[in-house]
Structure 1
Amino acid sequence: MATLSGIAFQTLRVPSASPLATATDANRRDLCKVLWEWDVCGGCKSAKECAGVTCPSTRLPSLRRYFEHYKQLVSSYSHDLECQRTDATVNSHEEIFGIIRVLKQQPNITRRNLADETFGRERVNAAIDADREHVIGLAVKAFTMVYCTHWLNQNAEHDNGDLESPSWLEDVPFNIFLEEMFPMIDHPGFGEDSSSSFWELKSSITGTKLVRRGGLKFEPTEDLSNHLKLNRKTGVVEIFHHTAFLKENLRITKGASGPMSIAEALGLGVLPRQLALEVLDSLQKIIFPLSDPSAVSLLQSLVNDKDFDQDCLRFEASAIREPHEINTRYLYFGARLADIHDEMENPTPRGFISRWAKRKGAGHANVAAIFAVVLALLFGLITLGLGGFQAWVSWQQWKHPI
């Protein structure tokens, strides 16, 4: 089955007449206004040159990778319609923005009620219902960077090939769906930032160590719920890399009086602050600490080769962080960090020799010893063969002297 990026590539090859197939700077600014209440300068409002450095439009370049993903989402929708039907549920970016506004105004709305409020209560046919589900999925993905509907789940790569990503059920409130997708677990070791074990665990799972010692690889994910998921079979760790998107969320909640519920955060058009901080810091302070030149080099290679967001390499503090937010407790992703640490301590056998050693009880740690035994046996056989050959040459010389 084609992936979302594959469909988007087809869209670039097959010109689309749909207004959704293109996204202008005005569309991008409107999206940011809907999400984060951007108040752009007069020049931007009149489609003229941006007037000053205080205008949020100056951050448009840093959000390039997020806008590219948004364009892939809406392009895949217009391409899907043109290949199959012509009765589009939405025909403009503004209609998608309207769904986001409803989600912000009513974060406890169910998917059925959202569909009724947006498209009306009349049920036409299964194809139209599926199309409406698709459109809601586009809006939710642009809003939260989480996949929530059947169509998008089937056309995007989730969990290293696992397409069983949760869907937003019809009768479940939106905020409850997100709460269940991101449960808070105070994991020992990663849940308390002042403990000695936290610093020890944190320093042991940097990206360079995971690659060199654990044999792990990193792949980008567009789904926030897949961040730090480890596939032990393939040795792949997924990284949510849209740091510019996370920083915009953190700008909104900077200065908030206290912790917010998911519903309260959605009302502001953002993710919970703790969630955004954990994703950002797990990338820039734990897996790829920007204070470590080797980690920066590895991250740069992922930006170049795996299309990670270039903004991953930019560390920001005063604009997005409170003074006390130097270290982050990991209440959402502590368990996944612990899984990665456990993989470092007890690597999963992936090669034939490693799996054989594991089955025989020798364990992955004894693979080197097994190789040594095999090499010693091989050299012994070679030595025995050379000795036999020399003995045969000597016997021939004795039997047939020259």
Structure 2
Amino acid sequence: MAGISITAIPLQALHTPSTSSLAKTTDENRDGLYRALWGWKFCDGCSFAGICTLVTCPGNRLPSLGRYFGHYKELVCSYSHDLEHHRRDAVVSSHDEIFELIRIIKKNPNITRGALAKQVFGSPSNMGIESEQEHVIGLAVKALTMVYSTHWLNQNAEHDNGDLVSPSWLKDVPFYAFFEGLFPMIDHPGFGEDASASFWEMKRNITGSKLIRKGGLSFAPTADLSNHLKLNRNTGVIEIFHHTAFLKENLRITRSMEGPMGVEESLRLGALPRQLALEALDSVQKIIFPLSDPSAVTLLQRLVVEKGFDEDCLRFEASAIREPHETNTRYLYFGARLADIYDELENPTPRGLISRWAKRKGAGHANIATIVAVAIALIFGLVTLGLGGFQAWISWQQWKHPIEGSP
């Protein structure tokens, strides 16, 4: 097959529908995706009538996963639209082929990207085909783990605050090692400890409403788990991984498993490492937007409407996804980022003109109020001087040109 290099097309630019079979997602495609990811088994009502008849059937959770499946459709539509406009053939032409890639990665998380491509597609005939194979594998990886493994997919995503240059899954690197490298464990003092005094103090101070009110920060949704809680100090934007329904499905898989599981073992089950999923979920629902706080719920509702956050963020679940001892989460993956947010609140980054000038001059934030007061006093002084001069000019005009008949 002759290959043509794929050019990135932003998702928001796809105004015309693609005619590719990949762009047509049906309920059957959705159900096939969940079977491949999590081994879902649907009841007869779901399979034949489209109506779930069993309380224990996973089909009951289909509505809560609507935002996640919508993201999957956007990614596949972007890929199929790109193919339609830039080449005549494709490495894959159906959703089932993507699902098979997911199953192979789950079965052998130790596989390298090169070995995976060769096993599924054979040897590429040219660089264009090899690049396209990487993109297709990236689709499967994104659906399975919600992380980007290729620059093409990351460029096609909508980013408000994201890092457009993200790590790629290199050809000779095992998949579990690539994933593990995205999430280094850092035992940060405070957030890495079990309910320490410093933890509770820091936790109380970085709720969403305080970050907005005191820190002048804002929030943007991200569909890349590796970008969760990233703070852009220049813009004051914090990225939030908002696909909480996806996280809950991962936690259901690893619940009641005996003993701790490594990254490779978790991926073999089609799940994120349990600690990672718990931290991502609890950092949203217990720290940044604590659902026990009405103001946090109101803020989150606004973000759902205005920023496109997953509505499932507002649903708190415990018994179905947690072990009895999983009440206070240690933050070994995201502790450093939470601490970075706390530090930003304590030592705000200067963003306005006056703040940046004060920082350069070494005045610091403590003197900004003094600088503003001096500036205001100077302005008032100039205004007063101007008014005095104007009054003097009027008096001089009256003396020079007296009105006739005046004494």
Query: In structure 2, what residue type is equivalent to 1:301?
Result: R
TM-score, normalised to structure 1's length? Answer: 0.95
Query: In structure 2, what residue type is equivalent to 1:59?
Result: R
Conserved? CA contact 1:159–1:229, under 8 Å: no
Alignment of 1:204 with 2:205, yes or no, is yes
Conserved? CA contact 1:38–1:56, under 8 Å: yes
| Residues 325-364 of structure 1, C-alpha deviations (whole Å, 9 max, x = no match) | 1111000000101111111111111111111111111112
| Residues 70-100 of structure 1, C-alpha deviations (whole Å, 9 max, x = no match) | 0011111111111011211111111101011
For 2:107, the equivalent position in structure 1 comes to 105
Structure 2: any 5+ residue segments left out of the alignment?
1-6
Conserved? CA contact 2:160–2:220, under 8 Å: no
Conserved? CA contact 2:151–2:165, under 8 Å: no
For 1:250, the equivalent position in structure 2 comes to 251
Question: CA 1:234–1:48 in structure 2 vs 1: closer, same or farther (change >3 Å)?
Answer: closer
Conserved? CA contact 1:158–1:226, under 8 Å: no
Conserved? CA contact 2:8–2:82, under 8 Å: no
TM-score, normalised to structure 2's length? Answer: 0.94
For 2:3, the equivalent position in structure 1 comes to none
Query: In structure 2, what residue type is equivalent to 1:306?
Result: K
For 2:187, the equivalent position in structure 1 comes to 186
Question: CA 1:56–1:138 in structure 2 vs 1: closer, same or farther (change >3 Å)?
Answer: same
Conserved? CA contact 2:244–2:310, under 8 Å: yes
User: Among residues 50, 53, 57, which one is paired with 2:52 in the alignment?
Assistant: 50
Question: CA 1:380–1:159 in structure 2 vs 1: closer, same or farther (change >3 Å)?
Answer: closer
Conserved? CA contact 1:231–1:237, under 8 Å: yes
Structure 1: any 5+ residue segments left out of the alignment?
none
Q: Matched residues in 1 for 2:38 and 2:10: separation?
A: 26
Q: Matched residues in 2 for 1:161 and 1:145: separation?
A: 14
Query: How far is the alpha carbon of 1:146 from its aligned partner?
Result: 0.4
Question: CA 1:3–1:331 in structure 2 vs 1: closer, same or farther (change >3 Å)?
Answer: farther
Alignment of 1:6 with 2:12, yes or no, is yes
For 2:332, the equivalent position in structure 1 comes to 331
For 2:170, the equivalent position in structure 1 comes to 169
Within a 5 Å distance, the mapping from 1:251-270 to structure 2 comes to: 251-270=252-271
Question: CA 1:163–1:20 in structure 2 vs 1: closer, same or farther (change >3 Å)?
Answer: same
Which deviates more, 351-360 or 237-246? 351-360
For 1:352, the equivalent position in structure 2 comes to 353
Query: How far is the alpha carbon of 1:157 from its aligned partner?
Result: 4.6
| Residues 43-65 of structure 1, C-alpha deviations (whole Å, 9 max, x = no match) | 22335532222211111000000
For 2:4, the equivalent position in structure 1 comes to none
Corresponding residue pairs, total: 397
For 1:66, the equivalent position in structure 2 comes to 68
Query: In structure 2, what residue type is equivalent to 1:5?
Result: L
Q: Matched residues in 2 for 1:237 and 1:346: separation?
A: 16
Q: Matched residues in 1 for 2:355 and 2:238: separation?
A: 20
Within a 5 Å distance, the mapping from 1:265-344 to structure 2 comes to: 265-344=266-345
Conserved? CA contact 2:289–2:297, under 8 Å: yes
Alignment of 1:218 with 2:214, yes or no, is no
User: Among residues 83, 90, 93, which one is paired with 1:91 in the alignment?
Assistant: 93
Identity %: 71
Within a 5 Å distance, the mapping from 1:105-184 to structure 2 comes to: 105-120=107-122, 122-157=123-158, 160-184=161-185
Q: Matched residues in 2 for 1:396 and 1:100: separation?
A: 89
Conserved? CA contact 1:157–1:163, under 8 Å: no
Which deviates more, 373-382 or 42-51? 42-51
Conserved? CA contact 1:109–1:173, under 8 Å: yes
Q: Matched residues in 2 for 1:110 and 1:258: separation?
A: 27
SS of the equivalent of 2:240 reads strand
